[in-house]
Amino acid sequence: MGAFLLAAAVAHAADLKTFKDWVVGCDNGLLCQASAMMPESDVSVTLTVRRAPQGNAAPQVWLRSLDTDPVDVSADGKRLGIHLKKNDDDAMVVDPADAVRLLDALRVAKSVEALDAAGKPVGNVLVDGASAAMLYMDEQQHRIGTVGALVRRGDKPDSSVPAPPALPVIDTVRGSAKPPAKLSPAFVARVRKANDCPDEHDPNLVSEDRLDATHTFATITLLCQSGAYNYISAAYVITDGQAPRDAAFDDDKDRQEGDTLHYNLGWVPAERRLSAFFKGRGIGDCGGRQEYAWDGARLRRVKLEEMDDCRGVVDFISAWRARVVER
């Protein structure tokens, strides 16, 4: 069995950089993100700054704690009076009016602590590498010397930042309200036997989702091939009235020959996207995530996110994106 490691086998559009305790990267559209990781041997707090490439884009900043949600931040023992609000993703988002002030403190402080409502430390935000990581973002987005640069500010207006590269366009087809086609019990049994899982019979491990008016996407989860937190599936496309065939992905060239199994697949009907996720470890703080859209013949990758370091950051960094257009 040779399953596809999303984090290792795909072609990288952008390499992540590590500056001491910070990891940073920018994708093909120059969306950039830098994150403060947790200590190697302890559980603490992560902080992430993400910025879109447009000249007038403000940095977005948020913190995450595995325990108590922080309500403020201190730098070298002095409270900053940062306003934080929890979002739908359980992150504590810094008020935009406070973001630059917090990032400036991160660049120069020797210690930064996230605080609870009583003013007690929730955990440390690691600062070694913060300035270098944010400078890297500025360099990639051509902000050096502008008013809005994170590190090396100057007098140039933010409007001088050049337009970002155009994203590649992926064409998709319209969905359908028709019920999906079904895999036959005999076909499912053959797949399980071929993958050394003949004793698995749970029907909940088989899923079918309608792709368009004539095609269905189907998966068979193979528990005997799976690990504790990475579920492995065989993936198929069914053309109405025909036998299932192996699902074709546009990044199949990155896979090992004969490798037809996938990690943690899930169809998201509301978005009409297929998600795939390889976890480097159980808490999901490293590995790779991808999203695919159906173009009528194959599944096209439209998003790639990565995190190489297993140090508490669950906000993966965008490495590649496409613009999806429904035809």
- Give the per-residue pLDDT at 10: 43
| φ/ψ of residue 24, rounded to 5 | -145, 150
In contact, 274 and 266? CB cutoff 8 Å: yes
pLDDT single digits (tens) 136-154: 999 999 999 999 999 999 9
Q: Which of 118, 109, 140, 142 is nearest to 36 (CA)?
A: 109
Which residues on adjacent β-strands are paired with residue 124? 113
* Each residue's pLDDT expressed in tens, for the chain with a length of 327 residues: 333 344 333 444 468 999 999 999 999 999 999 999 999 888 889 999 999 999 999 999 999 998 899 999 999 999 999 999 999 999 999 999 999 999 999 999 999 999 999 999 999 999 999 999 999 999 999 999 999 999 999 999 999 999 999 999 999 999 999 999 999 999 999 999 999 999 999 999 999 999 999 999 999 999 999 998 999 999 999 999 999 999 999 987 766 655 679 999 999 999 999 999 999 999 999 999 999 999 999 999 999 999 999 999 999 999 999 999 998
Q: Which of 254, 196, 270, 209 is nearest to 236 (CA)?
A: 209
Instruction: Report CA Rg, the chain.
Output: 22
Q: Where are the domains of the chain?
A: 30-160, 169-326
Note the helical H segments in 170-248: 185-194
Containing H/E element for 133? helix 130-140
Instruction: Output the DSSP codes for 81-113.
Output: ---EEE-TTS-EEEPHHHHHHHHHHHHH-S-EE
